[in-house]
Amino acid sequence: MSQGKLEGGISGGVEELYREVILDHFKSPKNRGSIENANAVAEGMNPLCGDQLTLSAKIENDKIIDIKFEGHGCAISQSAASMLTQAVRGKNLTDVSELSRLFKNMFGIKEGNKNLDSKISEDDLGDLISLEGVKKYPVRVKCAVLSVNTLKEAINSYLKI
């Protein structure tokens, strides 16, 4: 009985903290807006939840020098977009791809192998790590990965893939 109480206390505390980080990004999103001279743009939708997202980025020499998002939807999708734009700004495309892979791994989504040219680790996920608890709710995982999937499309538009 005391063990149950302890476990509840610990996980409750961590989840409380994460909820706060997520709500902070939802209420005061970072990098909200659109970039006028963007050369990487994509729109993403998650019809299951009604989430919508448009990402615009300025990429120079294969490095994201600026990135912003617009959209609407649930707290998970919008806060994830805010956290992602923070995490990838200033990073080159190899590191962005490795960061996206690590983020999706958090939810059990396997996407390719570790890129050995990249020094990106879990530490580089920044606030995105706070979304890890979403893996317990498979339907919401689509909300959490909407921005990272949209970013991939935006990068593909830049690379003309």
Query: Binder to Zn ion among 31, 52, 56, 77 (CB under 5 A)?
Result: 77
Q: How far is the CB of 115 from Zn ion (least distance, A)?
A: 29
When asked if residue 53 is in the footprint of Zn ion (CB under 5 A), the reply is: no
**147, 161, 133, 136: which is closest to 57 by C-alpha?**
147
Task: Report d(CA 115, CA 155) in Å as an integer.
Answer: 17
Smaller CB separation from Zn ion, 18 or 115: 18
User: Can residue 22 be called a binding residue for Zn ion (CB under 5 A)?
Assistant: no
Asked if 74 interacts with Zn ion (CB under 5 A), we say yes
Burial class (CB in 10 A: 0-12, 13-18, 19+), 55: buried
User: What's the closest the beta carbon of residue 75 comes to Zn ion, in angstroms?
Assistant: 8
Q: Smallest gap, in angstroms, from Cβ of residue 155 to Zn ion?
A: 22
Least distance (Å) between residue 61 CB and Zn ion: 34
Choose which of 21, 41, 45, 49 interacts with Zn ion (CB under 5 A): 49
Q: Residues in the site for Zn ion, rule: CB under 5 A?
A: 49, 51, 73-74, 77, 143
